[in-house]
Amino acid sequence: MSIEGSSPKSLFDKLWERHVVVEETAEAPAVLYIDLHLIHEVTSPQAFSVLEGRGVKVRRPDKTFGTLDHSTPTLPANDRGELPYATPEAKSQVERLIENCAEHGIELLNMGDPRRGIVHVIGPELGLTQPGKTIVCGDSHTSTHGAFGALAFGIGTTEVGHVLATQCVLQRKPKSMRVVFDGLLPEGVGAKDMALAMIAQIGADGGQGYAIEFAGEAVRALSMEARMTLCNMSIEAGARFGMIAPDETTFEWLHGRDYVPKGLAWNEALADWTDLRSEIGAHFDKEVHVDATKIRPMITYGVSPDAAAPVDALAPEPHSEAEKHAADYMKFNAGKPFHDVAVDRVFIGSCTNSRLSDLREAAAVMRGRKVKEGVVALIVPGSEAVKHAAEAEKLHEVFLAAGAEWREPGCSMCIAMNGDSGKPGELVVSTSNRNFIGRQGKGVRTVLASPATAAASAIEGHIADPRPYLFAKESA
């Protein structure tokens, strides 16, 4: 055993140690204390039912925070104020979360609340997400919050119940991996491209069993919103945890947000957060290097996020049975440029890419241009606050003038639980994070891409490289 302080610690070690209530043994996982429990309408109803069945109250309503996102319509209410829920189930999920939060004294961003939005967008936006916190949610993209130097991970519905009842979770410490992006990104390439390039390199299970820390020059240079995009996709490499050490970018972004400490408490928090970084010589079970200077705008061509390639490449020859099956489903012709693939629909949104910077990126491509005839383009801001900020900049006018649809915030076509979906056989270029078969509607073929690539594809009506648009000073 090492004497305390003698061996250099990683960010992950520090976050873990700060929250262990009971150490892990061969027989039992560690008990971790949870600082923030985010809940949404899909994975919480059953957990609340279990609590009710046992007559248990929520242990720390003040550390629990709810929002409505997955099943909520993105079209406005009708004249009678009724929201167009896709199904009775969707409506009932929403109603149950409203009831459960009221019953247990949990703050909820209800429909109509100007702060409501996708759980992984609103946490950071409100400053609930902070460096050094343990954050859980019954949702696999909880790693998004790791962008702030938090220990954030998705849990299952049973665990949601445990956390509601005890404010703790049982967890075995995963192995640690550092993914270092060497050098700086070329112009016109962003965090979504980094994420897809990394997943293509290590595989959709390459991070399984690991907590990833993203590091390197290209990561340091990313904006806070871009860091969230990168950490969001950790789970698509199989890693439940993804994190970035907080720095000036983080602190500046957080300063003044609703739930962030103010005054003297802010100075104290800063002093504490500054220590949250991996020390020189800290041990990682695995280290991966990605050459950031070589990354190009990326798209996926298969039905798993690691089937990703540069947008200006040729569709590859399928080899394994799984690849052949994916190629059949996607109907890409091996050896042909991705540019040849016609697009039916474009979705710009989701907890991966629905923040203001993402919408600005899409607007930069669409400004003064038209969505190709026959293509449906859906633009769904991640939160009411993003929507408001985008409208203040008149981005919605850019989208509407281009012929795109400007919707109400929510998960929308990322998972198609709210009725927003593609039609069988359609090809959708989507800024979301999963291209699984049927995720965006039965028979829908999903191509994952950045907001710029999705916007360029909407304009051209086929998979398109965004760089000519991003580099052009004036629209054509």
Ligand X SMILES: CC(C)[C@H](C(=O)O)[C@@H](O)C(=O)O
Stretches 97-105, 139-147, 187-195, 291-299: which one binds ligand X (CB under 6 A)? 139-147
* DSSP tag of 127: T
Choice between 375 and 415, CB closer to ligand X: 415
Sequence-distant (6+) residues with CB within 8 A of 50 are 161
The residue assigned the tokens 């199904």 is: 87
129 is an interface residue for ligand X by CB under 6 A:
no
121 is an interface residue for ligand X by CB under 6 A:
no
User: Which residues, in sequence order, are bridge partners of residue 448?
Assistant: 430
42 is an interface residue for ligand X by CB under 6 A:
yes
Residue 71 corresponds to which tokens in the numbers above? 């099943």
State which of residues 35, 41, 125, 139 lies at the interface with ligand SF4 (CB under 6 A): 139
* 149 to 168: interface string for ligand X, x by CB under 6 A: -----x--------------
User: Which residues, in sequence order, are bridge partners of residue 376?
Assistant: 345
User: Strands 445-448 and 308-310: what pairing?
Assistant: unpaired
CB of 358 to ligand SF4, least distance (A): 12
User: Strands 427-430 and 345-348: what pairing?
Assistant: parallel
Choice between 120 and 372, CB closer to ligand X: 120
Choosing among ligand SF4, ligand X, none, which partner's interface includes residue 350 (Cβ < 5 to 8 Å by kind)? ligand SF4
Residues of this chain, 382-441, that bind ligand SF4 according to CB under 6 A: 411, 414-415, 432-433
Instruction: Count CB neighbours of 201 within 10 A.
Output: 16
Choice between 70 and 133, CB closer to ligand X: 70
Residues of this chain, 399-428, that bind ligand X according to CB under 6 A: 415
Cα 235 from chain centroid (whole Å): 9
CB of 272 to ligand X, least distance (A): 30
Choosing among ligand SF4, ligand X, none, which partner's interface includes residue 118 (Cβ < 5 to 8 Å by kind)? ligand SF4
* 433 to 452: interface string for ligand SF4, x by CB under 6 A: x-------------------
Choice between 138 and 188, CB closer to ligand SF4: 138
User: Strands 210-215 and 175-182: what pairing?
Assistant: parallel
141 is an interface residue for ligand SF4 by CB under 6 A:
yes
Residue 327 corresponds to which tokens in the numbers above? 């190629």
How far, in Å, CA of 223 to CA of 202, rounded? 24
Start-to-end CA distance of the chain, whole Å, equals: 66
Pick out the residues of the known binding site for [4Fe-4S] cluster: 351, 411, 414
CB of 119 to ligand SF4, least distance (A): 6
* Residue 347 · residue 441 · CB < 8 Å: no
120 is an interface residue for ligand X by CB under 6 A:
no
* Residue 179 · residue 288 · CB < 8 Å: yes
Helix spans in 152-190 (H)? 157-166
170 three-state secondary structure: strand
224 is an interface residue for ligand SF4 by CB under 6 A:
no
Find the residue with minimal CB distance to ligand X. Answer: 140
Sequence-distant (6+) residues with CB within 8 A of 79 are none
Q: What's the length of the chain?
A: 476
Choosing among ligand SF4, ligand X, none, which partner's interface includes residue 42 (Cβ < 5 to 8 Å by kind)? ligand X
Distances (CA, A) of 372 to 78, 377, 460: 30, 9, 6
Choice between 10 and 440, CB closer to ligand SF4: 440
37 is an interface residue for ligand X by CB under 6 A:
no
Binding site for ligand X (CB under 6 A): 42-43, 70, 139-141, 154, 415
Binding site for ligand SF4 (CB under 6 A): 69-70, 118, 120, 139, 141, 350-351, 411, 414-415, 432-433
